[in-house]
């Protein structure tokens, strides 16, 4: 599924609610062996849905800015290697 994650959070329109919320959100949040949800795919989907709503600017305020920078630098290197 495609996500539209921007710097600022945004509300979903009606079709996005149908497509994303109803199809990707689990009925309830479960903790399984210390992890939320059953699979990494479910965890990444939930993270992406939340990032669409709150935006990247809010997310980078969580955690160490240097670690965010390292992760971004690594992602850019990966993209350069594929290009």
pLDDT profile of the chain (83 residues), mean per 10: 92 89 82 87 90 96 95 94 78
DSSP 45-78: HHHHHHHHHH-HHHHTTSS-HHHHHHHHHHHHHH
pLDDT for 83: 65
Contacts of 2 (CB under 8 A, 6+ apart): none
What does the alpha-carbon distance between residue 21 and residue 64 come to, in Å, rounded to a whole number? 30
pLDDT for 82: 81
pTM above 0.85, yes or no: no
What sign for the dihedral angle of Cα 25, 30, 36, 42? negative
- Residue 53 token pair: 């709503």
């Amino acid at each position: 599924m495609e996500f539209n994650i921007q710097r600022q959070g945004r509300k979903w329109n009606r079709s996005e609610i149908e497509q994303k919320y109803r199809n990707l959100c689990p009925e309830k949040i479960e903790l399984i062996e210390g992890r939320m949800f059953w699979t990494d795919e479910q965890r990444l989907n939930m993270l992406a849905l939340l990032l669409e709503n709150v935006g990247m600017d809010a997310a980078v305020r969580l955690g160490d800015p240097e670690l965010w920078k390292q992760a971004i630098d690594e992602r850019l290197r990966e993209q350069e290697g594929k290009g």
